[in-house]
């Protein structure tokens, strides 16, 4: 097992930065992606964006299979289409531990990206957890958090937890 990255917690300014495109696909990038993937798996996440480990690069890893299949690596992902139909569902975030919110997302979407070797690929009409995770991680790459996608009432209800999280790194601390 390789060492894992530290997950950046709400309040860390890197979470609000827009990630820049990856231009060089090399061994260093591969090692970074491996460490990101290991971090996501160790932390029991469904997805992880590079901002969440302190790097403002447009990279996300997603595993919606609970380890049954290898995680999908998305380098420079772009949403190319999204359904008009949306639904709300519970979402959590490794950068907001202990917080779950009802977030509205598109039910289907298409994405183009590159794999770790720089090869382009597309996923057409992703649905279910994959569609939700893609939207969540691409939001991270744009400096957007789940708290930005909920009603003012939901935000107000967790204001105390957010303050505690930003101060201590834990809603229990």
Is residue 137 part of the annotated active site? The answer reads yes
Strand locations in the chain (E) = 47-49, 59-62, 72-82, 86-92, 100-106, 108-114, 120-127
Residue 150 C-alpha from the chain's centroid: 16
Q: Which of 70, 36, 76 is CA-nearest to residue 52? A: 36
Are 109 and 134 in contact, with CB atoms under 8 Å apart? yes
| Beta bridge mates, 79 | 111
Whole-angstrom CA distances from 163 to 146, 149, 155, 173 are: 15, 18, 11, 11
Q: Which candidate in 38, 55, 91, 137 is catalytic? A: 137
Are 17 and 56 in contact, with CB atoms under 8 Å apart? yes
Are 62 and 74 in contact, with CB atoms under 8 Å apart? yes
Active site residues: 137
């Amino acid at each position: 097992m390789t060492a894992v990255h530290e997950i950046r917690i709400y309040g860390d300014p890197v979470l609000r930065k827009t990630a820049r495109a990856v231009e060089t696909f090399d061994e260093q990038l591969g090692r970074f992606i491996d460490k990101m993937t290991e971090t996501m798996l160790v932390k029991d996440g469904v997805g992880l964006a590079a901002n969440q480990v302190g790097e403002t690069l447009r990279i996300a890893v997603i595993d919606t299979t609970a380890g049954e299949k290898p995680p999908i690596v998305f380098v420079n992902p772009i949403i190319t289409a999204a359904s008009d139909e949306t639904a709300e569902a519970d979402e959590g975030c490794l950068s907001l531990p202990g917080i779950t919110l009802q977030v509205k997302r598109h039910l289907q979407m298409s994405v183009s990206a590159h794999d770790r070797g720089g090869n382009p690929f597309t996923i057409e009409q992703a649905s279910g957890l994959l569609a939700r995770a893609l939207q969540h991680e691409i939001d991270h790459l744009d400096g957007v958090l789940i708290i930005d996608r909920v009603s003012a009432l939901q935000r107000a209800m967790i204001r105390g937890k957010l303050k505690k999280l930003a101060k201590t790194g834990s809603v229990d601390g």
